[in-house]
């Protein structure tokens, strides 16, 4: 983070899982520290969704390619599985800018 705190990954921009502080610890200490060991164990055990950052992260989510109609155009998108898009609302927003 901007102030030296170390989060679990680049997607934790909301600072939900801070694992160390580079102002007070070396990077090696943080990397080998208990909090990082716990993170690695959760990853190994496929338990990452118990972590706040991973619960809201879209990196690594399952996607599928789908064609959708937006206005008069048909476009291909990679949609997150189980994500419900409100195409009518998207259309309405696009329409309001025309």
Taking CB under 6 A as the binding criterion, the range among 18-26, 46-54, 68-76, 80-88 that sits at the site for ligand SF4 is 46-54
Count of residues in contact with ligand SF4, rule CB under 6 A = 10
**CB-wise, 11 or 25, nearer to ligand SF4?**
11
Distance CA 81, CA 63 (A): 5
Which of 6, 12, 19, 20 is close enough to bind ligand SF4 by CB under 6 A? 12
User: According to the 3-state scheme, what is the secondary structure of the chain?
Assistant: CCCCEEECCCCCCCCCCEEEECCCCCHHHHHCCHHHHHHHHHHHCCCHHHCHHHHHCCCCCCEEEEEEEECCEEEEEEEECCCCCCHHHHHHHHHHHC
Question: Is 57 a residue that touches ligand SF4 (CB under 6 A)?
Answer: yes
**CB-wise, 60 or 95, nearer to ligand SF4?**
60
Binding site for ligand SF4 (CB under 6 A): 8-9, 11-12, 48, 53-54, 57, 59-60
């Amino acid at each position: 983070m901007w102030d030296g705190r170390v989060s679990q990954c680049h997607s934790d921009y909301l600072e939900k899982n801070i694992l160390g502080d580079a102002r007070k610890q070396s990077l090696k200490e943080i990397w080998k520290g208990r909090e990082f060991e716990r993170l690695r164990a959760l990853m190994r055990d496929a338990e990452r969704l118990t972590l706040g950052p991973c619960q809201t992260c879209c990196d690594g989510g399952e996607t599928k390619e789908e064609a959708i109609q937006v206005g008069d155009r048909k476009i291909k998108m990679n949609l997150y599985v189980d994500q419900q898009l409100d195409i009518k609302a998207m259309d309405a927003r696009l329409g309001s800018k025309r």
